[in-house]
Structure 1
């Protein structure tokens, strides 16, 4: 059983999921996707996973990866593949080349119980890299006292020989630019 399997439900869609189709998602963007490439989900400042201000992520318990301090509110798919789980503030995607990616918005934002987030996808949906996954209200996150960094963790890191930054840490990165290089 994989990391995302514990979140999967076969129940009827929630009211939130039913309403997602009525929400107009922003357009998909140009991306630097390719085999073994995980793109930045937002525009902002790229940081190494060790710099994420949460010990679970910074110690890479949930997988190796990176994070971006966002300069925009739309969080995009970092890979093309199938959405395996959505949780308001997070989404899991299994890429076409077998990379399992968790995109998690913020530190302790689970406590917001979905407030300040608008989802554009549901489990089972097919996405392409650069496609909007969700939008966040950064002002609402800050007002609640939480940090809004967007974390990208390769949850099946052990299946690969390396997961490394594909761009300079602490530098500006555009959504859709190569952020991680995953090697078998």
Structure 2
């Protein structure tokens, strides 16, 4: 996998502010991978591609969802979810990425899922806490991420769910299942 090719291809898909976010997510992913013992190169690749499809037209995302046999229930939820599973498909089809861990880190970076791998947790969390993020509670999650990846992921899931509920939006079931699984995992660590 040629990193320069992935960087250039992704930059061409994104407006400047989202490209800068992507670079910060990549830096944060590498830092978290180093801290928690994950593969830094895989973390960087997944982070670079995580928002590749974020600004594609809705029709194009829907076409990929349908053509690639992705879960159609996605279409019943906020379209902000769509780019992640489509992005994993694009990473495989256009860039030849076969590593399931990288693909899953892209696929679940917005929703989370139960039994996330270490890499999936890292990219999910890096997207949430990268230094450009400014919203209530992010500093608390950043601080937790310094020492406990699972508790930080749980906190991010909790805050995401509360955010959606407070805005009267539906919560994707996979996110609820991810949260419940992380709750069980962190309870076992006590």
TM-score (norm: length of structure 2): 0.28
* Larger RCO, structure (CA 8 Å, separation 6 or more): 1
Find the structure with the greater CA-based Rg: 2
More helix by share: 2
Greater share of strand: 1
